[in-house]
Amino acid sequence: MTEADDTGTPTDAPPTEHHEPPELRRAESLVLVNTGDGKGKSTAAFGTMLRAVARGWPVAVVQFLKSGKWNTGEEKVGRDLGVEWYAIGEGFTWDSEDLTQDEAVARDAWQHAAGLLAAGSHRLVLLDEVTYPMNWGWIDTDDVLAAIRDRSPKVNVVCTGRDAPQGLLDLADTATEMVVVKHAYRSGIRAMKGIDY
């Protein structure tokens, strides 16, 4: 049986009205944050990357955990489409033999990313998994927030990673939390090429 709201309208009925804000304006650029424990943070960001490329935007990606040795599908297609790709990370921290080296690499990645944000040569800069080195204290959260806030005006930014700091969520124009309902890995299924990387 279909439930109804106070007016008698079925709650599972398709919407018949569009409720938009009273005043819509254009922004020179936006900050998007994809966070949460669910799958899809980077995947959604790469979808935005594809949209930007399709619009003729110059795009740069800086990956803070993934290494250039990983040979991921998103990097291959991004490079084929002319995206400037910087896989500067050292990989998963639990596989690391030297976390001090990983931290130094993350700081180098951040210096590169900060330069991209300030330069204004790209309409989209994607900071993939940037929340992790922020939360581990490897890169200063206040520096990241300042660089994003003070970026060149036409640079759009997408940040991904779990546990986005509150300051980053506050700075974002759009923040999305991915929630796990079910995940193949939790039932013992390995990451699949073409789906997960």
Q: Which domains does the chain have, with CATH numbers?
A: 31-187 (3.40.50.300)
Structural tokens at position 142: 């206040």
pTM of the model as a whole: 0.85
Q: How far apart are the C-alpha atoms of 134 and 137, rounded to whole Å?
A: 5
pLDDT of residue 65: 86
118 — phi, psi (to 5°)? Answer: -75, -35
Top-confidence residue, 43 or 195: 43
pLDDT of residue 93: 47
Percent of the chain with pLDDT over 90: 65
Cα torsion through 156, 102, 100, 38, rounded to 10: 70
* Mean pLDDT within 170-195: 91
Helix, coil or strand: residue 118: helix
101 has pLDDT over 80: no
What is the tens place of the pLDDT at every residue in 36-72? 999 999 999 999 999 999 999 999 999 998 655 667 8
pLDDT of residue 9: 62
Which strand ranges, in their side-by-side order, compose the sheet holding 31-36? 84-87, 59-63, 124-128, 156-160, 31-36, 174-178
**Amino acid (one-letter) located at 194:** G
